[in-house]
Amino acid sequence: MAQLSDDCFAFGGPMMSVDEAVGIITARVTAVGETESVALVDADGRILARNVAAPLPLPPFTNSAVDGFAVPAADLPRDKELMFPVAGRVQAGSSGEPAKAGHAVRIFTGAPMPAGTDTVFMQEDVRLEPSGKVVLPAGLKVGANVRPAGEDIREGHVALKAGDRLRPQDVALAAAFGLTRLDVVRRIRVAVFSTGDELASPGTERTAAQLFDSNRFMLMALLKRLGCKVSDLGILRDERESLAKALKKAARVHDLILTTGGVSTGEEDHVKAGVESVGSLVLWRMAIKPGRPVAMGIIGGTPFIGLPGNPVASFVTFVHVVRPTVLALSGAVPLALLPIPVRAAFSYKKKSGRREYVRVTLRRAEDGALEAVKFPREGAGLLSSLVDTDGLVELGETVTAVEPGERVGFLGYANLL
């Protein structure tokens, strides 16, 4: 089971930058060691557990890149076209005879180059005589239209690395190596709770003072995109003892406990006291907006993260705190979020010293540039502000204002995970 060392609690200071917080988390979390073998068809999105070195070169043999005629370098027409008799025919999947001197060999895309040949003329560039001979033009370079063995990947090259999150193209590479299975890190088991007496689960009766729990479903969906095995543990009431008991129980069989709501310092915010009664906790005031405090702790050796209750704050802090924690737990190569430059179509004022995320949609301006249009309202409780936008503009700690036309960094929702 994953362990989070206790000394991170020395960092429970007043206001912490996002980078500092992420650095602390990722440094303190120990990756789960367990791995499992999965079939290639199930490998997408999983974290590779071991380096994969190429067991064969790619392509495995030198072959023709086109349909045409293969000849040896010595016979290449230099100044004027030359006529060759054709001897032999080799198609994809079959091995031809060695070439006869002074002859061209009919060859097809993907077929191995016959011994003695090293250059292929595309069939579009040659002339076939009624005699069956072929006229090859002058000027083709030695080795043209040939794919040498190993030009893509050399045998022994470490082509996939432990910690890589496998993508479809990575799976294709494993298949090209002839592998049928890959060793991956087992899925990270995450327990998800919502907290709050005002919440009703969709599908249950909602009283006049309740709203349906939405964060839990957002968080579970986010976690699934990160490849986690998610346990939906429902809604915890605003009551310390039952909350503590539920968290403690969940800690036994999960790698990470995640809650949303109840981490402010109000009288009815019981997560802090609940966690402290069964484990240890620090409340971080991260210098991030939207964000409010994020709680982090350990319950029986299992990391705990308490996200804020407001949906947008929950989403943003998930991206910056939970995502790196899950990646660290799975031993994944930490991937920095790289904002792409777009043009601001809004003005904005902010405090220096904290990072802010502005919800925006993208549009194509008349000059072709991508422009970020700010969602008109700012509340951290507005789900529509996430639903109706494409991503977040990241404004760094030193920025104090944005004017229309300025270049800003955009993080698309799709790329956040």
- Residue ranges in contact with Mg ion by CB under 5 A: 196, 261-262, 309
Beta strands (DSSP E) in 255-396 are: 256-260, 279-286, 288-289, 294-299, 302-307, 340-344, 348-349, 355-364, 370-374, 391-395
Which residue's CB atom is positioned nearest to ligand AMP?
Answer: 309
> Shortest approach of Mg ion to residue 215 CB, angstroms?
11
Shortest distance (Å) from residue 413 CB to ligand AMP: 18
From CA 357, how far away is CA 312, in angstroms rounded? 10
Token pair belonging to 130: 């009624």
Report, in Å, the least distance between residue 194 CB and ligand AMP.
4
311 binds, among Mg ion, ligand AMP, none (CB under 5 to 8 A by kind): ligand AMP
Q: Which of 59, 72, 163, 196 binds ligand AMP (CB under 6 A)?
A: 196
Residue 262 binds ligand AMP, judged by CB under 6 A: yes
57's contact among Mg ion, ligand AMP, none, with CB below 5 to 8 A by partner kind, is none
| Cα 348 from Cα 104, distance rounded (Å) | 70
- 215 contacts ligand AMP (rule: CB under 6 A): yes
Among 152, 198, 394, 397, binds ligand AMP (CB under 6 A): 198
Instruction: Pick between residue 196 and residue 293 the one whose CB is nearest to Mg ion.
Output: 196
- Compare residues 196 and 274 and give the one whose CB is closer to Mg ion: 196
Residue with tokens 């988390």: 25
Bridge partners (DSSP) listed for residue 121: 69
- Judged by beta carbon distances under 5 to 8 A according to partner kind, the member of Mg ion, ligand AMP, none in contact with residue 199 is ligand AMP
Identify which of residues 28 and 359 has a Cβ nearer to ligand AMP in the complex: 359
**Contact letters (x/-) for ligand AMP, 304-343, by CB under 6 A?**
----xxxx--------------------------------
Q: Which is nearer to ligand AMP, 381 or 412 (by Cβ)? A: 381
CA distances (Å), origin 323, targets 162, 222, 302: 18, 9, 16
Q: Residue 140: which residues within 8 A CB-CB, separation 6 or more? A: 76, 77, 119, 121, 125
| DSSP letter, residue 57 | -
216 binds ligand AMP (CB under 6 A): yes
Q: Annotate 237-271 with three-state secondary structure.
A: CCCHHHHHHHHHHHHHHCCEEEEECCCCCCCCCCH
Tell the residue number behind the tokens 């089971």, with chain if given.
1
DSSP state of 273: H
Maximum pairwise Cα distance, the chain: 97
Residues of span 352-411 touching ligand AMP by CB under 6 A: 381
* CB distance 235 to 202 below 8 Å: no
Stretch that binds ligand AMP, among 12-20, 38-46, 84-92, 260-268 (CB under 6 A): 260-268
Question: Cβ distance 255 to 296 under 8 Å?
Answer: no
When asked if residue 264 is in the footprint of ligand AMP (CB under 6 A), the reply is: yes
Residue number with CB closer to ligand AMP (117 or 215): 215
